[in-house]
Each structure stands twice: as C-alpha cells, then as structure tokens.
Amino acid sequence: MSKMIFVNLPVTDLARSITFYEAAGAVRDDRFADETAQCMTFSDSIHVMLLTHEKFSTFTNRSIVDARTSAEVLLALSQDSRAAVNAMVDAALAAGGSEVHEPQDHGFMFERAVADPDGHGWGVMWMDMAAFEKMNAGQKAEADA
C-alpha cells in the first residue's frame, strides 16, 4: 500500500469549503464524510479532510487558530505546468479564495499562493526539474572550485 497524506483542516462553513476545494480541482470522497466532515481528494495519495470546528476539536485539545491572522502550516501542491498552476488558482479565486501574494517566478519554479475561505494557505507550484538540477549542479561546481 502506498503512503497517503490526509491534511486535516478546521472550517467554519463546510459547504462553502467543499465548493472551494471542488473548484480547486479536488473530488469528494464520501466514504469519509458526514454532516461534520468531508474528504476532498487531489490524487490517490493526497487528501484534505475538511472538519467543522466541533469535529476538529475532538482530535486535539489545542485551540484552533484563525488561519487568516496566524501561520499554522505551509502547504504546497504541485501541478504539471505553469498553465495548470494558473488554472487551479484562478478557479480557486472564483470560488471564494484570496490570492496570498503576487506570483513568484524563479526561472526553474513558478508559484502562486491562494487561501481558502477560512484562510488556509496553499502554494500551488510547477517546477522544471531539469532546470533545477542544472542550476544546482552549477552552484555545486562553484562551491567546489
């Protein structure tokens, strides 16, 4: 069995959050759903569990932060191309998300960041691995010289 990740996020409005994540490209997995929770699947190995605050609180005795004002975690999701990054972020923005910062173009990597309606931030990125490895090899050669 391959490893999977389940990112658990507390949400204030489950229906609104489902709409946002569907627009961002996730698909509902109703096997893990009830009136307090919904699993949203990005791939066979990447899942986001949307949990009402009440449900989330059953898993921890820590307070739930306001993700709009406090950093809780930095999440990143890769895409197959720059166009796919733009399509995902644009759809997420249209579904109630907000752009966290201007797009970042590092040559070998392109990234945009979007926050869901509860403020949970997602970096959406594409990386040209060949360009990254070439850049890394050049930096290593400089350091060895």
Cα–Cα distance between 104 and 72 in angstroms, integer?
A: 21
| Amino acid at the residue 113 | A
What local confidence, expressed as pLDDT, does residue 133 receive? 81
Cα 22 to Cα 77, 85, 91, 106, 145, distances in angstroms: 15, 15, 9, 28, 50
What local confidence, expressed as pLDDT, does residue 74 receive? 82
62: three-class secondary structure by DSSP = coil
pTM: 0.82
Which residue has 């307070």 as its token pair? 63
List the chain domain ranges.
5-62+72-144
1: three-class secondary structure by DSSP = coil
Cα–Cα distance between 62 and 93 in angstroms, integer?
A: 30
Q: In the chain, which residues have pLDDT < 50?
A: none
* CATH number 3.90.870.10 is the correct assignment for the domain at 5-62+72-144: no
What local confidence, expressed as pLDDT, does residue 52 receive? 98
What local confidence, expressed as pLDDT, does residue 55 receive? 96
